């Protein structure tokens, strides 16, 4: 017989699918140096992706987009779901929990019914706070809105007219791995052989990005230098998530690895790879290329594992789509513009980076629940990966080791949420299925917290309390 938590996860998946298809919605972590030791094991998951199947390397057929079932609202009514969770009862439940000393003196909250778009509870909901890694919800939604869920990021090889100078051109894909780089080298060597070329010199082009490559927090195991050309996110230990030693030169290391793979494929590379720029006409007609997984899969990976490198890449892809410089500043402007396009209030919001590592970021609880509401809107299926990528309490990603004891246990399998942790900052934003079958969005942000060991359980109890409503 299945364990109780398995039943909870199954119930969560079923109700989530129904609730997301209900009628149209009304208008409505990141780590710094030396921090988040408590979550390192939680962030290091065994698989690099979320719950959905993510396609292997190469450009397979584009995935179909989700289509909401128009009859789902009737199904929910048939299950006996009431018209709404009562705000008075909700306040009586949440106010004492929000007073937990573990949350520190600064805390804000927003709870919204995703079926109706109605705010059920708010405390300082429009007050901008440091969001930590929950800003990845905004980064992901902006990228999906600007580019669509089927967009793939290319890494290409451009060749001079005589084929004797190659340029490895970074397109901004931090998920490029050894298997895909090897396939790219094999394809390149084959194309060169067809041209009768056996020896080349190799350069590499990182001109797609502008501005500083180092995040203002400086060298850190949670983020490689931000480059449009990198192999395995610049990780030196072959891990696929969580903190790891990082290379100081992602692009140079990637080009060196590519040169070695070219040699193994039968093409001689003269000298060491050097920085360079491919002519525009050569970029337009590359000799070979490889593609990332679809943006929908990249968003799920970003959210499930709180992937900082991928979040910064998504922010820069949004900048490129909106004709902004692909830099920290340009990406921030583009994300804000995209959220405004989605009809969300961005007054007081600040996007200093895409990952949430910066303490200069500002988001409100209301903006976070607004983003989740947009992602649940049946009229916006392109945003759905924002919801499907959220970790499941007690089961996956950065929530795998949480919701495992005490009052929070009732939220296991029913809470899906993005975590956020910096020293003195703890946040949680996501969705929860209530006892009466409603799907709610919530955001809880706490500042000047005394310790993650007290703040995180307090946040878990808040979201688990929502699961018991009705």
**Beta strands 119-123 and 268-269, pairing class:** unpaired
Q: Which of 158, 156, 149 is nearest to 176 (CA)?
A: 156
Cα–Cα dist 137/134, whole Å: 6
Rounded to 5°, angle at Cα 69 from 66 and 75: 140
The 3-class SS string of 135-156 reads HHHHHHHHHHHHHCCCCCCEEE
**Token output for 246:** 């990082």
- For residue 394 the two structure tokens come to 């007690």
C-alpha count within 13 angstroms, C-beta hemisphere, residue 374:
24
Q: Which of 110, 136, 182, 396 is catalytic?
A: 136
* CA-to-CA dists, residue 7 to 51, 392, 394, 410, 460, angstroms: 17, 13, 13, 12, 19
Choosing from 133, 364, 396, 463, which is the catalytic residue? 133
- 350 pairs with which residues across the strands? 362
Non-local (6+) Cβ contacts of 5 within 8 A are 394, 395, 412, 413
DSSP helix/strand/coil, 289: strand
Q: What are phi and psi of 384, to 5 degrees?
A: -55, -35
Backbone conformation region of residue 335, classed left if phi is above 0, alpha if psi is from -120 to 50, else beta:
alpha
410 as an active site residue: the answer is: no
Sheet strands (E) in 151-256: 154-159, 165-169, 199-205
Angle 189-169-63 from CA coordinates, rounded to 5°: 90
Helices 87-98, 452-467: axis angle to 10 degrees equals 170
The residue from 110, 140, 292, 306 that is catalytic is: 306
- Catalytic annotation present for 199: no
Indicate which residues carry an active-site annotation: 133, 136, 306
């Amino acid at each position: 017989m299945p364990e109780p938590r398995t039943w909870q996860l199954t119930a969560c998946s079923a109700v989530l699918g129904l609730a997301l298809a209900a009628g149209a919605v009304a208008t409505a972590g990141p780590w710094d140096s030396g921090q988040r030791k408590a979550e390192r094991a939680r962030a290091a998951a065994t698989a690099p992706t979320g719950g959905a199947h993510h396609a292997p390397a190469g450009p397979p057929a584009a995935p179909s987009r989700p289509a909401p079932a128009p009859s789902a609202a009737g199904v929910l009514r048939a299950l006996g779901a009431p018209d709404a969770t009562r705000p008075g009862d909700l306040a009586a439940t949440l106010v004492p929990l929000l007073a937990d000393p573990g949350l520190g003196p600064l805390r804000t909250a927003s709870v919204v019914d995703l079926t109706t778009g109605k705010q059920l509870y708010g405390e300082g909901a429009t007050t901008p706070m440091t969001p930590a890694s929950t800003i990845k919800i905004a980064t992901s939604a902006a990228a999906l809105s600007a580019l669509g869920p089927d967009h793939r990021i290319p890494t290409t090889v451009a060749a001079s007219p005589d084929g004797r100078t190659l340029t490895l051109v970074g397109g901004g894909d931090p998920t490029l791995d050894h298997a895909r780089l090897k396939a790219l080298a094999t394809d390149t060597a084959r194309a060169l052989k067809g041209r009768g070329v056996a020896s080349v010199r190799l350069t590499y082009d990182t001109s797609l990005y502008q501005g500083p490559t180092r995040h203002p927090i400086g060298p850190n195991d949670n983020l490689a230098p931000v480059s449009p050309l990198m192999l395995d996110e610049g990780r030196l230990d072959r891990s696929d998530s969580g903190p790891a030693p990082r290379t100081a030169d992602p692009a140079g290391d990637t080009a060196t690895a590519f040169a070695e793979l070219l040699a193994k494929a039968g093409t001689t590379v003269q000298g060491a790879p050097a920085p360079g720029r491919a002519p525009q006409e050569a970029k337009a007609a590359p000799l070979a290329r490889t593609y990332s997984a679809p943006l929908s899969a990249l968003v799920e990976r970003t959210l499930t594992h709180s992937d900082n490198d991928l979040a910064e890449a998504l922010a820069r892809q949004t900048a490129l789509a909106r004709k902004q410089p692909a830099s920290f500043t340009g990406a921030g402007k583009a994300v804000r513009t995209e959220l405004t396009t989605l009809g969300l209030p961005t007054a007081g919001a600040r996007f200093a980076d895409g990952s949430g590592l910066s303490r200069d970021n500002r988001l409100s609880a209301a903006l976070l629940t607004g983003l989740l509401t947009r992602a649940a809107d049946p009229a916006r299926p392109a945003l759905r990966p924002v919801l499907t990528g959220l970790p499941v309490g007690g089961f996956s990603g950065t929530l795998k080791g949480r919701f495992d004891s005490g009052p929070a246990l009732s939220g296991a399998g029913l809470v899906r949420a993005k975590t956020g942790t910096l020293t003195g900052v703890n946040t949680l934003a996501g969705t929860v299925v209530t006892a009466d079958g409603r799907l709610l969005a919530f955001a809880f942000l706490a500042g000047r917290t005394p310790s993650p060991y007290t703040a995180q359980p307090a946040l878990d109890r808040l979201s688990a309390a929502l699961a018991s409503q009705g």
